[in-house]
Amino acid sequence: QMDPTLLRRWVEAYRLHGEACLSRTGERYSPLFKFSVLQRMWRDSLSLRRTAALFNLGNSSQVGRWQQQYYSGGIEALESGKKGSITAMPKPPSKPRKTTTPLTDAQLAHKALLDELQYLRMENAYLKKLGELG
């Protein structure tokens, strides 16, 4: 099942730009271009989706990010990777791995018995619940 919003966005972009809208270049946009997109959106009271379609941008959320960046830091914030952009959270330090010693045959047998006991207890509880429901 296709999302109807996504389909409408593709159709609108195709009507405006033809087959050119089907290929993405991964282009980086200048702060001046981003600001001109925002000015057009504000001047003509366009939605984010309509603005993205007019300028053949892949996603309307991109225009929303530009607007948020502009409000938080002006035109300087529209520079790629500068103020107003969201940075990734740092990764937590990795925990040291526990060194495991090989188990003896007796320990392996004990572990296998405990695993089997746990399985049988779960099976017993399931059958009891099934009997109560049926």
46-100 tens-digit pLDDT:
998 889 888 888 777 889 999 999 998 888 888 865 544 456 677 777 777 777 7
Q: Give yes or no for a contact between 111 and 103, defined as CB atoms under 8 angstroms apart.
A: yes
Place 134 in a pLDDT band, splitting at 50, 70 and 90. Answer: confident
CA angle 34, 14, 79 (to 5 degrees): 15
pLDDT of residue 25: 61
- Burial of 10: CB neighbours in 10 Å, binned 0-12, 13-18, 19+: middle
How far is it, in rounded angstroms, from Cα 79 to Cα 75?
8
Share of the chain above pLDDT 90, in %: 17
pLDDT of residue 42: 94
3-state secondary structure (DSSP) of residue 47: coil
